Amino acid sequence: MLEIKDLRAAVNGVEILRGLNFSANAGEVHAIMGPNGSGKSTFAHVLSGKAGYEVLPGSQVRFQGRDLLELPAEERARLGLFLAFQYPVEIPGVTNANFLQTAANEIRESRGLDKLDALDFGDFLREKMAYVNVNPVMADRFVNHGFSGGEKKRNEILQLAVLEPSLAILDETDSGLDIDALRIVSEGVNKLRSPDRTFILVTHYQRLLSYVEPDFVHVLYKGQIVKSGGKDLALELEDKGYDWIKEEVDSNG
């Protein structure tokens, strides 16, 4: 469902993603780990179509049979791609409920489905809030406005539950969560796992992966996937850190 070949992207003339190869099938959970500044968020942003990145020629990304790189961000979302932000954005004046209704309806419309009115959507939203354990009062709060760090992350999971994407990229959703919240968020992700939903979990911590068991673990370093393995790789990294991988890569390169 996702196939990436030789993805190269630059910011302000500096190449951050430097020939990244990656592929995922429906229903798989992939963890991406890697040192700070290695390009994980950049990878997530480039996939979801954020402006300001120069994608270099030769890069290929196919998603659901489409050339992802030529689509504007909103069309990627309608195609089923979702990004849970490392730093969720505040939108004062717009309630979560209104925001999600607008989003859900635009996605529905693009798929030829009828729009949901405020009442029907309200029911749907309440159901999803209960499902991922988010306090119903959050529906009427402005999007992420004044939310605590942890509340913002949990709000991202709520959006994921509402928008039902086929590919969900979670950029450090586990960072900044307290122990209970981490468990709740992990449970949410586990509930949302399904044979036709793929997850890419960007994380620094093995802890998340002990709750949400990944099928694959990858290490992103200097803009490339330099190592891939099963869930044991994460344990190994937890134990040994990144130095041994960095040495391997730096001596080969």
Partner 1 sequence: MRSATNDNSGNRLTQMSSKDEQIDGTPYEGSRVEQSNREVADLAGQEYKYGWSTDIESDTFARGLNEDVVRAISARKGEPEWMTEWRLQAYRAWCGMQEPTWAKVRYARPDFQAISYYSAPKQQENPKSLDEMDPKLIETFEKLGIPLNEQKRLTGVAVDAVFDSVSVATTHRDILGKKGIIFCPISEALREHPELVKKYLGSVVPRGDNFYAALNSAVFSDGSFVYIPKGVKCPMDLSTYFRINAAQTGQFERTLIVADEGAQVSYLEGCTAPKRDENQLHAAVVELVAHAGATIRYSTVQNWYAGDEEGRGGIYNFVTKRGRCEENARISWTQVETGSAITWKYPSCILKGDNAVGEFYSVALTKGCQQADTGTKMLHVGKNTRSTIIAKTISAGRGDSSYRGLVHVAPTAANARSYTQCDSLLIGSQCGAHTFPYLDVRQPSASVEHEASTSKISEEQLFYCQSRGIRPENAISMVVNGFCKEVFDHLPMEFAVEASKLLSVSLEGSVG
Ligand X SMILES: Nc1ncnc2c1ncn2[C@@H]1O[C@H](COP(=O)(O)OP(=O)(O)OP(=O)(O)O)[C@@H](O)[C@H]1O
Chain positions contacting Mg ion, by CB under 5 A: 40-41, 86
User: Can you tell me the distance from the alpha carbon of 206 to that of 196, in angstroms, rounded to the nearest whole number?
Assistant: 25
In terms of Cα–Cα distance, which of 55, 31, 26, 89 is closest to 213?
A: 31
In whole angstroms, how close is the CB of 230 to partner 1 at the nearest point?
Answer: 30
Is residue 154 a contact point for ligand X (CB under 6 A)? Answer: no
User: Can you tell me the distance from the alpha carbon of 222 to that of 19, in angstroms, rounded to the nearest whole number?
Assistant: 10
Count of Cβ atoms closer than 10 Å to residue 215 Cβ: 15
Find out whether 23 and 2 touch, Cβ atoms under 8 Å: yes
In whole angstroms, how close is the CB of 8 to ligand X at the nearest point?
Answer: 13
Is residue 36 a contact point for ligand X (CB under 6 A)? Answer: yes
Among 5, 56, 64, 95, indicate the residue that binds partner 1 (CB under 8 A).
Answer: 95
- Structural tokens at position 167: 């590919």
Footprint (CB under 6 A) of ligand X, residues 57-86? 86
Stretch that binds partner 1, among 83-91, 112-120, 176-184, 221-229 (CB under 8 A): 83-91
Strand partners, 14: 11
Find out whether 31 and 217 touch, Cβ atoms under 8 Å: yes
In whole angstroms, how close is the CB of 93 to partner 1 at the nearest point?
Answer: 3
Instruction: Decide the pairing of beta strands 167-171 and 198-202.
Output: parallel
Nearer to ligand X, 47 or 81 (CB): 47
* Interface positions with partner 1 (CB under 8 A): 48-52, 72-74, 76-78, 82-83, 85, 88-95, 98-100, 102-103, 106-107, 110, 142, 159, 163
* Interface positions with ligand X (CB under 6 A): 11-12, 16, 34, 36-42, 86
